[in-house]
Amino acid sequence: MDVRSDFQWRSEAGHLNGAYVYAQGGILAGLDLWSIDGGETPDTLPSTKALVPYGSPQA
């Protein structure tokens, strides 16, 4: 598995979540949403404006 992009965002409730896209064998294989702070399980995609690179202090 090769992570192609890794972002984070704050939900409307203020929880920190993450999203990453990965590939396998050079072919895009999936998108995963996850809770960084454990406060909620993300179940919808954020707006692209809300995304910042993972590890960024802006989120």
Largest CA distance in the chain: 37
State pLDDT tens for residues 4-31: 999 999 999 999 999 999 999 999 999 9
**Distance, CA of 7 to chain centre:** 4
Question: Does residue 59 surpass a pLDDT of 90?
Answer: no
The CA distances from residue 5 to 9, 14, 22, 26, in Å, are 14, 22, 7, 14
Predicted TM-score (pTM) of the model is 0.87
Quickly state the pLDDT bin for 43 (edges 50, 70, 90): very high
Identify the three-state secondary structure at position 29: strand
Domain ranges of the chain: 2-53
Question: Does residue 32 surpass a pLDDT of 90?
Answer: yes
Quickly state the pLDDT bin for 58 (edges 50, 70, 90): confident
